[in-house]
């Protein structure tokens, strides 16, 4: 069995991170996801033929995305707490 110790790698990697970098990454990703989400929802509303299906899809999409961003926000806070 191959044994590897990643503890040294983790410490080196974490030394490059700071709360600003972590928050910046979170904000950047959120903005990117937000922009593409607006484009997606715009397409559904403008071009689809049946509204009920669009509303269902948009609802599912927004709930899923917000859920994942919520989890990401939690890990962001935990990471910042670790770095502080």
- What residues make contact with another protein under the rule CB under 8 A? 1-7, 9-11, 13-14, 17, 22, 25, 29, 33, 36-37, 39-40, 43-44, 47-50, 53, 57, 61, 64-65, 68-69, 71-72, 75-76, 78-79, 82
What the block records as the tokens of 64 is 């899923």
- Closest contact distance (angstroms) between CB of 55 and another protein is 13
How far separated are the first and last CA of the chain, in Å rounded? Answer: 36
In angstroms, the Cα distances linking 41 to 31, 37, 38, 45 are 15, 6, 5, 6
Q: Specify the residue, 36 or 55, whose C-beta has the smaller distance to another protein.
A: 36
């Amino acid at each position: 069995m191959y044994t590897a110790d990643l503890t040294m790698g983790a410490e080196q990697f974490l030394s490059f991170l700071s709360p600003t970098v972590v928050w910046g990454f979170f904000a950047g990703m959120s903005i990117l996801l937000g922009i593409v989400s607006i484009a997606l929802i715009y397409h559904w509303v403008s071009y689809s033929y049946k509204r009920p299906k669009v509303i269902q899809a948009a609802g599912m999409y927004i709930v899923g995305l917000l859920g994942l961003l919520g989890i990401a926000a939690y890990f962001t806070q935990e990471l910042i707490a670790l770095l502080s």
